[in-house]
Amino acid sequence: MKRVLIALALCGCISLPAMASPTGAVTMKYLGYSAAPYGTVSLYADSDGVYDSATKTGYEIVYTGGIAAGYYKHDVSAATGDGMYVGNPLLGFCMDLLQNPALIYATFDVVPLTEGPNPTFIGVPMTAGKADLLRELWGRHYSPAMTASQAAQFQLAVWEIVFETSGVYNISNGSLVSTSYNAGTNALLASLTGTGPMANLVALTNPQYQDMLASIQIPAPGAILLGAIGTGLVGWLRSRKRL
């Protein structure tokens, strides 16, 4: 028995290589706001740096009263590559202020987080720093059991991180402003210290439909091989014991 335990311990100590850049595709259809918890918000977004968040003037995009903030639930009909690990139904969050959800089955590319959204409203790619904030936001606060208000706050925090250009992440002012759920959203943003758990996230991009933020649960590279090695060692040691 001692030899068996040693064999298993050795397998568990083998280090695994880092995951490569995500690739693949997901074909999915948006199931509608009523399919997942959400809240409605008014949203103001700027792209040129000329705005007044106090008076809500100077913003290029103004959505008043009817923007759904929360889970965006999709049915996945096909997937390849890392897209096979997004789950079905897919519970993601919007990263795109310019386009509508896919109401028909459409194919989205699975790309690194820094490559979403595409096209980007603010005209520049998302930075690695913003990607890390999203990973920590998800790692600290995501739950599939969030209430409608919690899901709305989470979505607003995602939009604030992706589209804020001032460098200060506060949904009450700056280049992205909401008029609802601000206290809860700002509490989420304030909790991001760079020391929290980091989720494994990707961007799902399509030139015609809203780009989405999603989590992928990919088995660690080599995990299956290590399991096979461990099983083989256990069997070998047991066979020696019988001899």
The model's pLDDT over 125-161, given as tens digits with 9 standing for 90+, comes to: 889 999 999 999 999 999 999 999 999 999 999 999 9
Question: For 15-60, what is each residue's pLDDT tens digit?
Answer: 333 457 999 999 999 998 889 999 999 999 999 999 999 999 999 9
Tokens of 166: 């001032």
Q: For residues 111 and 198, what is the distance between their CA atoms, to the nearest angstrom?
A: 17
How high is the pLDDT of residue 125?
A: 82
> pLDDT band at residue 14, thresholds of 50, 70 and 90?
very low
Q: Could you list the beta-strand ranges (E) of the chain.
A: 24-30, 38-45, 61-70, 72-81, 90-94, 106-111, 176-178, 201-205, 212-215
Q: For residues 169 and 52, what is the distance between their CA atoms, to the nearest angstrom?
A: 16
Buried-state track 191-200, b at ≥16 Cβ within 10 A, e below 16:
ebeeeeebbb
Answer for the pair 59, 51: CB distance below 8 angstroms, yes or no.
Answer: yes
Q: For residues 198 and 137, what is the distance between their CA atoms, to the nearest angstrom?
A: 8
Residue 105 has pLDDT above 60, yes or no: yes
Of the chain, the percentage scoring pLDDT greater than 70 comes to 82
Element housing 225 (H / E) = helix 223-242
Of the chain, the percentage scoring pLDDT greater than 90 comes to 72
Q: Residue 51: left (phi > 0), alpha (psi -120 to 50), or beta?
A: beta
Cβ-Cβ contacts under 8 Å for 224 (sequence gap 6 or more): none
For residue 49, what are the CA distances in angstroms to 162, 230, 234?
15, 58, 64
How high is the pLDDT of residue 9?
A: 34
Answer for the pair 113, 161: CB distance below 8 angstroms, yes or no.
Answer: no
Residue 225 has pLDDT above 60, yes or no: no
How high is the pLDDT of residue 121?
A: 86
Tokens of 233: 């060692």
> pLDDT band at residue 241, thresholds of 50, 70 and 90?
low
Amino acid at 116: G
The pTM for the full model equals 0.83
Return mean pLDDT, the chain.
85
Question: For 165-209, what is each residue's pLDDT tens digit?
Answer: 999 999 999 999 999 999 999 999 999 999 999 999 999 999 999
Strand, helix or coil at 85? helix
Lowest average pLDDT, out of 53-57, 104-108, 201-205, 226-230, goes to 226-230
How high is the pLDDT of residue 66?
A: 84
Strand, helix or coil at 94? strand
Q: Provide the β-strand partners of residue 52.
A: 57
